[in-house]
Amino acid sequence: MSERTARQLLALAAAIVFQALVLFGMVVLAQIPLWTGQEIQMETTPVDPRSLFRGNYARLQYAISELGADQFDTDRPLRNGEEVYVRLVPGKNGLYRYAGVSLDKPDEGVFLRGRVSGQWWRSEGNVYRIRYGIEAFFAPKERALALEAELRDGGVAVLRVSGSGRARLAEVLPERN
């Protein structure tokens, strides 16, 4: 084997290892909130229980999924993809609720990092749609069918939130009484 061929094989091997490490890193970063995050619970409403294309899942919506433009401390319109930070506080029933929104990461407290995914006009003014990565809960077929019945009147999303505001959906439970 020539020296040139050996270098090419080494470069190819390095590229393959690098790609594998990047994929592994992406999986680990996505799992960190589940492993180390603080558990919180929020009210949620199901939107659509199944999809023929994506499988069995419940699409969820939260009170913080749509925020009025007047809640942001800025005169400029927000751009799609822009990061926002929603502060949360525990309510009397133990469920976390909206406490404010900012374009800057809070120094303390529980908060979710989201991204603006759209804007439209309503009678009360401009509204921004915010995505947090916790809008879909995938489940086996039997569990998805049970969720459809259990969540008709709403439910409780069990989230794990990291210190950076990344959230992952751990479980969806029927509404607490």
Span 51-70, pLDDT tens digits: 555 566 777 889 999 999 88
What global pTM score does this model have?
A: 0.73
Three-state SS at 176: coil
Span 111-134, pLDDT tens digits: 999 999 988 887 777 899 999 999
Three-state SS at 159: strand
In angstroms, rounded to a whole number, what is the distance separating the alpha carbons of residues 105 and 112? 9
Adjacent-strand bridge partners of 32: none
Asked whether the beta carbons of 33 and 112 are under 8 A apart, the reply is no
